[in-house]
């Protein structure tokens, strides 16, 4: 298993975040929002100025491409913890 992050941020912003955070996993940019629309992750009027934003979500996908676990939230401040995701991933093996 390996983590991959997908963000609506530009590749440059994602690269900077990766460096600053010391992350070593892959960051992908979805600046057009294609993946966000595909997985219905848009949070209408969820931004600080009531603009549409993409809501956070986490997925565990097996080697066959099957989504085995999801975590969705309406609050950009709420995310699954790495510990939680690892525990779920171990159960799925």
How much is the pLDDT for 12? Answer: 93
Does this model's pTM top 0.75? My answer is: no
Q: What is the pLDDT of residue 1?
A: 63
What pLDDT is attached to residue 47? 83
Q: What is the tens place of the pLDDT at every residue in 74-86? A: 676 778 887 888 8
79 CB-near residues (< 8 Å, 6+ apart):
56, 58, 71, 73
Nearest to 36 by CA among 72, 69, 61, 60: 72
DSSP string covering 53-69, please?
Answer: EEPPEEEEE-TTS-EEE
Taking only the tens place, the pLDDT of each residue in 1-56 is 677 888 888 999 989 988 998 988 888 888 888 888 888 888 888 888 998 888 88
CA–CA separation, 89 and 3 (whole Å)? 11
Name which of 57, 60, 66, 62 is nearest 86 in CA terms: 60
Separation between Cα atoms, residue 24 and residue 5, nearest integer Å: 11
């Amino acid at each position: 298993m390996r983590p991959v992050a997908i963000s609506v941020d530009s590749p440059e912003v994602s690269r900077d975040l990766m460096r600053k955070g010391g992350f070593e996993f892959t960051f992908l940019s979805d600046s057009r929002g294609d993946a966000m629309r595909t997985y219905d992750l848009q949070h209408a009027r969820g931004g600080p100025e009531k603009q549409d934003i993409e809501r956070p979500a986490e997925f565990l996908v097996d080697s066959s491409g099957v989504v085995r676990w999801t975590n969705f939230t309406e609050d950009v401040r709420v995310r699954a913890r790495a510990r939680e995701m690892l525990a779920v991933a171990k159960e799925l093996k």
